[in-house]
Amino acid sequence: MNVENRLALSRRGALGALGGAMALGLAGKAFAQATQSNASEAAEIVLRGGYVLSMDPALGDLETGDVHVRDGSIVEVAPEIAAPGALEIDARNTVVMPGFVDTHWHMWNSIWRGMANDASSYFALHGLAAHYTPQDHYIAVRYAALEALSAGFTTCHNWAHGADTIEDAEAELRALADTGIRAKMGLAGFLGGQPTTRDQVQAMLDWIASNGGGRIGLGMILDGAGEALSERVELARNLDLRPITDHGGSLAQPDLLGPEFLFTHGTAVTPEQIALILDKHLGVALCPGTDPMIGAGLPPIHALLAGGVPLDQISMTVDVTAQTPADPFAMLRTIVNAGRIQQANNPNLMSIVQAAPQWLLSYRDALAIGTRGGANVLGLGDQVGSLTPGKRADIIAVRTDALNMIPAANTNMTFQLVQHGLPSNVDTVIVDGHIRKQAGALVGVEVREILAEAAESQAAIRKRAGLPPLDTSL
């Protein structure tokens, strides 16, 4: 069996088992009534008895409730739902909520783990793109997407600037489609040093229409567009691509901007830029894992909120799993903590205690950034981001009976999720009505094979590039 076939997901295959280190030791079997042969493809599902955090202001929360899914859509959210014949998931001792949404992730370099410890060493590796084969692109993006699903991300934005040919881009699209994640694919505005043509973009759109399962969309990346920026934006708009984005340079040409644009990073965002974000209704993609790690600063959440940017325009981004894990809980903690540091602007502990600030960013707000905000930024707010009947069924169940959590009814679940949540607490992941993770294990995935392929791909790329051995003394 060749590598591609070994890697291809079987949506009707047997359930794989994660290793003990990735499994949730204290998790009960959330799928007590599901069988291994029918769980991933059930047309109708009811999650029963969980704490329902809908992230829909009109629906609110249910301390105990059910969520009914049929044919990939959310049908009903209520205290108790009769659904004869539906697959029942025992969601007791879990928080049932919309899946997390990432809005900016360089998935192609996920296999560089252990190779770069700061920004300088990371950017020095970008020349490795010339030594990738299309299969390396497939392996890297699939590796990242499976980590995303395991951690509770149901949507990602694959920033595919490492793809240098149409074959590379198609390989990354296949990886996203094969894993079953919902995704936007950010196609580079230049391929092989030449402007991406309308025919090439249309070929990508045609592939998505035939193979994307209704879960994949296309955007455009403008990094390096230079004098061709306006032309690239016009092409993207003509073909209804979203998001349109780069690493901030397009802000210098405000006449080109619109609500389909995405502003990334921005740790030093200025009042003038915030006014532009407001005026043009730009989406914002904060990078809470990588920006502090490289020394660039904290996510500028307080400046954005104080400047009037609404939560529904703000999102979180994994950015680079070559240097950080896909951990939505840690990302949201960092955003909350950054906001408090920026708001207090005071290193004196007792002074802050005595002031008892009313924090501008709440934990519920942070969860909105991680779900509803991300969906809106990617142009998917009418489809996902909340447990609203009629939206697509992108749902996760997060266990509260692990040692880092507590299932007591009188606790604040938004506090618990952000302050204490871990990817290992994610018991169940459903994307578009399909079960992708159950009882703490990815469905139909042999994790050891995925890890082995990722390691083999990294080694092969290093060899082709002639890289010296790594300095392990750092």
Q: Tell me, what's the pLDDT at 469?
A: 81
Q: Do 23 and 166 belong together in one domain?
A: no
Q: Tell me, what's the pLDDT at 41?
A: 75
Greatest mean pLDDT among 9-13, 30-34, 113-117, 227-231: 113-117
pLDDT tens digits for 111-140? 999 998 899 999 999 999 999 999 999 999
Least confident of 64-78, 245-259, 389-403: 245-259
pLDDT, mean over the chain = 90
Q: Tell me, what's the pLDDT at 40?
A: 63
The DSSP bridge partners found for residue 187 are 160, 220
Q: Do 167 and 303 belong together in one domain?
A: yes
CA distance 160 to 129: 11
Q: Do 141 and 241 belong together in one domain?
A: yes
Q: Tell me, what's the pLDDT at 33?
A: 33
- Interval 344-356 mean pLDDT: 93
Task: Please say which residue of 357, 377, 397 terminates a domain.
Answer: 377
Chain-centre distance for alpha carbon 178: 16
Residue 129 lies in a domain: yes
Residue 424 lies in a domain: yes
CB 3 within 8 A of CB 135: yes
Q: Do 371 and 395 belong together in one domain?
A: no
pLDDT tens digits for 222-249? 987 878 889 999 999 999 999 999 887 7
Q: Tell me, what's the pLDDT at 7?
A: 34
pLDDT tens digits for 179-228? 999 999 999 998 888 899 999 999 999 999 999 999 999 999 998 787 88
Residue 7 lies in a domain: no
**Across 5-91, where does the E strand assignment appear?**
44-53, 61-70, 73-78, 87-90
CB 164 within 8 A of CB 130: yes
Q: Do 81 and 130 belong together in one domain?
A: no
Does 53 score more than 90 pLDDT?
Answer: yes
Domain that holds residue 181: 100-377
Q: What confidence tier does 410 reach under pLDDT thresholds 50, 70, 90? A: confident
Q: Going by DSSP bridges, is the β-strand pair 153-160/182-188 parallel, antiparallel, or unpaired? A: parallel
Task: Please say which residue of 377, 403, 422 terminates a domain.
Answer: 377
CA distance 297 to 291: 6
Q: Give the three-state DSSP class for 463.
A: helix
Terminal-residue alpha carbon distance, the chain: 40
**H-run or E-run covering 211:** helix 198-211
Q: Tell me, what's the pLDDT at 470?
A: 76
Torsion of CA 82, 74, 105, 186, to 10 degrees: 150
User: Order of strands across the sheet with 100-101?
Assistant: 100-101, 153-160, 182-188, 216-221, 244-245, 261-264, 283-286, 314-316
Judged on CB neighbours under 10 Å (0-12, 13-18, 19+), 226 is: exposed
Q: Tell me, what's the pLDDT at 29?
A: 33
Q: Do 372 and 226 belong together in one domain?
A: yes
Residue 218 lies in a domain: yes
Q: Tell me, what's the pLDDT at 28?
A: 32
Residue 450 lies in a domain: no
Does 163 score more than 90 pLDDT?
Answer: yes
Residue 347 lies in a domain: yes
**H-run or E-run covering 185:** strand 182-188
What letter would DSSP give residue 252? G
Q: Do 159 and 240 belong together in one domain?
A: yes
Structurally, the chain folds into a number of domains equal to 2
423: domain CATH number is: 2.30.40.10
Q: Do 71 and 160 belong together in one domain?
A: no
119: domain CATH number is: 3.20.20.140
Residue 93 lies in a domain: yes
pLDDT tens digits for 416-469? 999 999 999 999 999 999 999 999 999 999 999 999 999 999 999 999 999 988
- Interval 403-412 mean pLDDT: 88
Q: Do 392 and 362 belong together in one domain?
A: no
Percentage of residues in the chain with pLDDT exceeding 70? 91
Tell me the longest C-alpha to C-alpha distance in the chain. Answer: 66
Could you tell me which of 48, 128, 59, 56 has the C-alpha nearest to residue 96? Answer: 48
CA distance 261 to 107: 20
Q: Do 54 and 125 belong together in one domain?
A: no
CB 268 within 8 A of CB 291: no
Does 474 score more than 90 pLDDT?
Answer: no
Q: Do 133 and 152 belong together in one domain?
A: yes
pLDDT tens digits for 360-377? 999 999 999 999 999 999
**H-run or E-run covering 186:** strand 182-188
Query: For tokens 């209804």, what's the residue?
Result: 240
Q: Which distant-in-sequence residues (6+ apart) come within 8 Å of 2 by Cβ?
A: none
Indicate whether this model's pTM tops 0.85: yes
Q: Do 34 and 175 belong together in one domain?
A: no
Residue 4 lies in a domain: no
pLDDT tens digits for 67-106? 999 999 999 999 999 999 999 999 999 999 999 999 999 9
- Show contacts of 338-341: CB within 8 Å, 24+ apart: 338/288, 338/298, 338/299, 338/300, 338/301, 338/302, 339/301, 339/302, 339/305, 341/298
**H-run or E-run covering 248:** none
Q: Tell me, what's the pLDDT at 100?
A: 99
Q: What confidence tier does 39 reach under pLDDT thresholds 50, 70, 90? A: low
Does 277 score more than 90 pLDDT?
Answer: yes
Could you tell me which of 294, 264, 241 has the C-alpha nearest to residue 105? Answer: 264
CB 283 within 8 A of CB 376: yes
Percentage of residues in the chain with pLDDT exceeding 90? 84
Which tokens sit at 159? Answer: 């920033």
CB 239 within 8 A of CB 202: yes
CB 433 within 8 A of CB 427: no
